A and B are shown apart, each in its own frame.
Chain A
Amino acid sequence: MKTLLIAEYRDGKLLENYAELLGFSQSLDADTVMFLVGSPTDLPKFPGKLYLADAGKYGEYNPACHKRFIEKVVAAENPDIIVLSHSSYGWDLAPRLSCALQIPQISEVVDVIDGLPVVPLCNAKMRRTVKPLHNRYVITLQAGAYTVELDSNAAPEVTVIDDELTENIIFQGYEEAQKGGVDLSKAEIIVSAGRGVGKPENVKIIADLAARLGGEYGASRPVVDAEWVEHNRQVGTTGQTVSPKLYVACGISGAIQHLAGMKKSEFVVAINTDRDAPISEIADILVIADLKQFIPALMEKL
């Protein structure tokens, strides 16, 4: 078994999620090679063969160019599985590899059972094992599903690769996240509103509960997208990562992107009407109740 891991680099920095790719490869006890469009001065702590294309020359993510590089590496190395993170980079690039190499892609792998990848279905309410109908396949890994301790002394054996640059998109630049506002990462208590709050007026009872507990209020993505709560209070992959002593999730089903932002909370209370919601998997206490009845009752007891 041989894996080709596709590491990520953005805006002058190697991203740390390559450790997750290594964790997956190690779990299969596979021979491992890595590919990166990155910098020779910021290399992964990986004691193996690294194919490196210089980001100084090839710039930021360019799908057509990265795809062609990986096709070359695949031809040279004959890997069984090509592994990416299920990230904005990985889920964009993986289908292009799948199409170019005419191999299956299995998205958001969380586990391997009897040699077959396992992926979530319906917002992680169910799981399924998937059989690729080809010897070689590409997968993306769910963030956090695998990891490994990196050896700080490890260094790769670098093979520099080059290609002609082609572009059908023009990268104009990055726009940073909104700065300022609330820093939820320092809050000891966070009460968050999810879609289950139902309507914008109900955000107030969430904010009131947060204030009564002496904490801050946050929100999940759908509530921010609906503009019921400002973006700088969003908890999750595309918002803030938080680790309070108490996290109260109100009407939040627990999409993986939200869980990734709050699973380091010390104690989690979920208030929800759906007992099968994925948030129940990580909640210390699951309160099955209507928020509009329960929160006022809770405020009375505090």
Chain B
Amino acid sequence: MKILVCIKQVPDMESKFKIDGTWYDTRDLAWRMNEYDEYGVEQAVCLKEQVAGSDLTVLSIGPARVKESMKKALAMGCDRGIHIEDDKVAERDPYSIAAIIAEYARNQEFDIIFCGMQSQDRASAQVGILTAELLGITAVSTIISFNYDHPTITVKRELEGGVKAVISTTAPALFTCQLGLNTPRYPTLPNIMKAKKKEMLSVPVSDVLKVEAAQQTEKIFFPEKKGGGLILEGDPADIAGQLVRILKEKTTVLSR
């Protein structure tokens, strides 16, 4: 079975963001693998372990630093990395990203493709489904359970209010992974060492970008603080005392 997992490198969401033109300033940020994609990598590795003779490729688009996240995916069990070299990845819209992936994947006959359900920064939730539509294969989004029993793939889609839809399909298909799909493994030291010897191919973005963007960011800004909220800061005992006083005054739950 030929498997592809697509990952994105994103900044730590707790970062102090600064604005730079029409995007956030990408300097001085800590970068990591998009959390949703970690579930995709884990599911891809589980499937590879289940089906003898499988081959698992991890793909990422971005500047050289994204190779750090790809190394983690290789250490988790992917066989090879495809790095699409693109210094302008931040400004690419979801359609361009999907078109790049589809262009690379076309004619390679991947049986199964995993993507994160969305990225933590843009959160468009478009790239996976667009990729599948461009490739003309089945897409099922937001999965929280995956089971392969040749030739049937049965997944659960997460809907609102804790309800799940049980869906079955067959390869070729793409799945977008929701948080909680599995428990992503931590790479072990021997596997981190082994990963260094794995193949990492670089492809210039100009080889695989054949479309024009469908949208562009006009302006980026911080939302206005609505205010009203009181900020307590300082010595824990002091602010705990202040909080208790306020709660007694403003709510009915503590005055009993």
List residues of chain A with CB within 8 A of the CB of B30: none
Are B94 and A126 in contact, with the CB atoms below 8 A?
no
* Complex alpha-carbon distance, A282 and B227, angstroms: 9
C-alpha spacing A213/B179, complex, angstroms? 31
Q: Is A126 within 8 A of B159, CB to CB?
A: no
B246 an interface residue at 8 Å Cβ cutoff? Answer: yes
Question: Are B167's CB and A171's CB within 8 A?
Answer: yes
Asked, given contacts A221-B179, A298-B240, whether A10 binds B159 with beta carbons under 8 Å apart, the answer is yes
Q: Is the CB of A121 within 8 A of B160?
A: no
B191 within 8 A of A: no
Is B53 in contact with chain A by the CB < 8 A criterion? Answer: no
Please name all residues of chain A whose beta carbon is closer than 8 Å to the beta carbon of B123 when the two chains form the complex: 107-108, 120-121, 123
| A273-293 vs B, Cβ < 8 Å mask (1 yes, 0 no) | 011110011111111111001
- On chain B, the residues within 8 Å of A253 by CB distance are 13-14
Q: B133 to chain A: which residues have CB within 8 Å? A: 95-96, 99-100
Cross-chain contact of B129 among A96, A172, A289 (Cβ < 8 A): A96
Chain B residues near A88 (CB-CB < 8 A)? 141-142, 157-160
User: Does B27 have its Cβ within 8 Å of any Cβ on chain A?
Assistant: no
B17/A122 in contact, CB under 8 A:
yes
Asked if B68 CB lies within 8 Å of chain A CBs, one says no
Determine if A238 is an interface residue (Cβ-Cβ < 8 Å). yes
Residues of A within 8 A of B218 (CB): 116, 128-131
Interface residue stretch chosen among B43-51, B73-81, B198-206, B231-239: B231-239
- Complex alpha-carbon distance, A222 and B164, angstroms: 18
B216 lies within 8 A of A98 (CB) = no
Q: Is the interface of A mostly helix, strand, loop or mixed?
A: mixed
**Complex contact A123–B19 (CB within 8 A):** no
Could you tell me the distance between the alpha carbons of A134 and B95 in the complex, rounded to whole angstroms?
13
Q: Does A87 contact B (CB under 8 A)?
A: yes
Please indicate the chain A residues that have their CB under 8 angstroms from the CB of B192 in the complex.
none
Give the total number of A-B pairs whose CB atoms are below 8 A apart: 248
| B interface majority secondary structure | mixed
- List, in ascending order, chain A residues with CB within 8 A of B157's CB: 88, 92
Q: Is the CB of B230 within 8 A of A285?
A: yes
Q: Is B124 an interface residue (CB 8 A)?
A: yes
Q: What A residues does B228 contact at CB under 8 A?
A: 284
> Which of A126, A231, A234 sits near B222, CB closer than 8 Å?
A126
Q: Is B179 in contact with A284, judged by CB distance below 8 angstroms?
A: no
Which B residues touch A123, using CB under 8 A? 13, 120, 123
| Residue A152 lies at the interface, judged by CB distance under 8 Å to chain B | no
Do the beta carbons of B139 and A222 come within 8 Å of each other?
Answer: no
Given A123-B13, A129-B219, A300-B237, are A175 and B163 also a contact pair (CB < 8 Å)?
yes
Given contacts A95-B129, A132-B215, contact A60 B180 (CB under 8 A): no
CB-CB contacts below 8 Å: B19-71 with A: 19, 22, 24
B residues touching A (Cβ–Cβ < 8 Å)? 11, 13-14, 16-17, 19, 22, 24, 93-95, 118, 120-126, 129-130, 133-134, 138-142, 154, 156-169, 179-180, 212-223, 225-226, 228-233, 236-237, 239-241, 243-244, 246-247, 250-254
- Supply 30 A–B pairs (Cβ within 8 Å), ascending by A: A11-B163, A92-B129, A96-B133, A98-B95, A98-B130, A105-B214, A108-B123, A120-B123, A123-B120, A123-B123, A125-B17, A127-B222, A127-B223, A130-B217, A133-B214, A168-B169, A171-B165, A172-B154, A176-B162, A214-B253, A238-B160, A239-B162, A246-B253, A266-B251, A267-B251, A280-B225, A280-B229, A283-B229, A289-B232, A301-B241
